[in-house]
Amino acid sequence: MASLFVAALAFTLATTSTAAPALTERNCINLQLSVPVTANTTNLDVPRVDNNVDAVDLVWNIERWTAPNTTARITGTNLIQQTFSINAQLCVPNNSTKNVLQIATHGFGFEKRYWDSELHPELYSYVEASLAAGYSILTYDRLGVGRSDKPDAYDIVQGSVQVEIIKELTLMARAGSLTTSSSIQNTAIPKFDKIVLVGHSLGSALTLGVLTKYGNLVEGAVSTGFIIEGVTGLVSDDAFGLEYAASNDPQRFSDRGSGYMVQATQSNAQQIFFKKGHFEQEMLEYAVSIKETGTVGDFVSLGLVLGQPALEFTGPLLFALGEYDYAICNGNCTGFYDLPALKSSLFPNATDLTAHVQPGSGHALTMHTNATGQFQAIFKYLESNGL
């Protein structure tokens, strides 16, 4: 079925318009999608970030022990109805008998190339590995990142909006309307039978937020680099080393306004994402070369999408963690979580909850030397659950 689709897609792209991009040899297509969003956002009592001094002081504001929690910061709510432009890449294997689409949401600090490294893709590209394993995969730049829209960093780029974007992408994929929602007028995309949401870090938190609110829309999920646990994190936002994006790199981040922040240095990226002895220096440099921004809203509102049980989620859920995850597990994920407690409190109707701890990996699971080991563990889990 998928091979027929690829032939049809290639045909359509070849014959429709000269503006349509060609398929790459991997059968990937870049899509600039119009994504309509209806979401409840909150007005949050947080300071503005308009320079590097503000960025450091924001961490003070959030992390000092007497700081108000997110709920206590809410001063109002808004219903937003807006259409956002989201840049995505859809890749489909040539000859797969699966009809499973993964929708992958990257975390803070990166854009969609987190999933599709140009450096040694055979070692680090989750997209390549997915195609080889027969999965289609949609990766995209989150709102506020890369080639997607970059609206107000406080009131618009919030967890609730990002959750609705994932939901809409899922609905489009199911309806076969991913290409009709872009500038490419192409009807050859199939309706994928099964959808698996995959996230990394903040992207995993958003993915779990979708399971909470719209759990019946997907067949399974993989939360990489993120697990909800009861232990108070020792690592706080100061470990990111945040600067005001437009000051950190005025050229590269010239389109980021107030409230957009980025990790300052290569060492800051290493601190959160990499474990010495398990990565190549050139990968650390590559990570910095594709580093991306996050917003005040991303940081402060995220907790609001979690916490309620995902009653309608009735699929399998894998937590794929790095053994040495500094931010999520205080540097040691082995035995860090309590799956039975998590299942009964938040995922009571999931068919399965499993954790895989990838040996020798830090938080950026796609960027360590044994990334393919983690990729295969994920596919094995999905396959053993009929996906």
Interface ranges with ligand NAG (CB under 6 A): 25-27, 38-40, 69, 71-72, 79, 93-96, 131, 134, 311-312, 332, 334-335, 348-349, 358-360, 370, 373, 377
| Residue 10 token pair | 């290639």
Distance of closest approach, residue 228 Cβ to ligand NAG, in angstroms: 13
Distance of closest approach, residue 173 Cβ to ligand NAG, in angstroms: 19
Query: Which CB atom, from 93 or from 209, has the smaller least distance to ligand NAG?
Result: 93
Which region holds residue 286: left if phi is over 0, alpha if psi is between -120 and 50, else beta?
A: alpha
Query: Which CB atom, from 96 or from 148, has the smaller least distance to ligand NAG?
Result: 96
- What lies within 8 Å, CB to CB, of 382 at 6+ separation is 100, 135, 196, 220, 222, 316, 318
Query: Which CB atom, from 68 or from 250, has the smaller least distance to ligand NAG?
Result: 68
In angstroms and rounded to an integer, the radius of gyration of the C-alpha atoms of the chain is 20
The Cα 154–Cα 78 span in angstroms is: 12
Distance of closest approach, residue 284 Cβ to ligand NAG, in angstroms: 19
Distance of closest approach, residue 18 Cβ to ligand NAG, in angstroms: 21
Query: Which CB atom, from 24 or from 187, has the smaller least distance to ligand NAG?
Result: 24
Distance of closest approach, residue 127 Cβ to ligand NAG, in angstroms: 10
| Residue 342 token pair | 């998590």
Can you say how many angstroms the Cα of residue 107 is from the centroid of all Cα atoms in its chain?
A: 5
Distance of closest approach, residue 247 Cβ to ligand NAG, in angstroms: 32
Distance of closest approach, residue 369 Cβ to ligand NAG, in angstroms: 8
Query: Which CB atom, from 37 or from 264, has the smaller least distance to ligand NAG?
Result: 37
Closest CA to 276 of 357, 373, 369: 369
User: Which own/partner contact pairs does 338-345 have at CB distance under 8 Å and 24+ positions apart?
Assistant: 338/229, 338/230, 341/230, 342/227, 342/228, 342/229, 345/309
Query: Which CB atom, from 42 or from 204, has the smaller least distance to ligand NAG?
Result: 42
Residue type, 183: S
Query: Which CB atom, from 253 or from 313, has the smaller least distance to ligand NAG?
Result: 313
Could you please report the per-residue DSSP string of 43-97? EE------SHHHHHHHHHHHHSTT---HHHHEEEEEEEEEEEEEEEEEE--SS-S
Query: Which CB atom, from 55 or from 133, has the smaller least distance to ligand NAG?
Result: 133
Query: Which CB atom, from 250 or from 386, has the smaller least distance to ligand NAG?
Result: 386
The Cα 164–Cα 272 span in angstroms is: 27
Closest CA to 275 of 238, 235, 323: 323
User: Which own/partner contact pairs does 47-50 have at CB distance under 8 Å and 24+ positions apart?
Assistant: 48/154, 48/258, 48/259, 48/296, 49/153, 49/244, 49/258, 49/259, 49/260, 49/261, 49/296, 50/244, 50/258
DSSP 118: S
Distance of closest approach, residue 96 Cβ to ligand NAG, in angstroms: 5
- Residue 134: in which H helix or E strand, if any? none
User: 156 to each of 6, 223, 236, 263, how far by Cα in Å?
Assistant: 37, 24, 24, 21
Distance of closest approach, residue 332 Cβ to ligand NAG, in angstroms: 4
Distance of closest approach, residue 118 Cβ to ligand NAG, in angstroms: 16
The residue number whose beta carbon is nearest to ligand NAG equals: 373
Query: Which CB atom, from 134 or from 176, has the smaller least distance to ligand NAG?
Result: 134
Spatial contact of 104 and 138, defined as CB atoms under 8 Å apart: yes
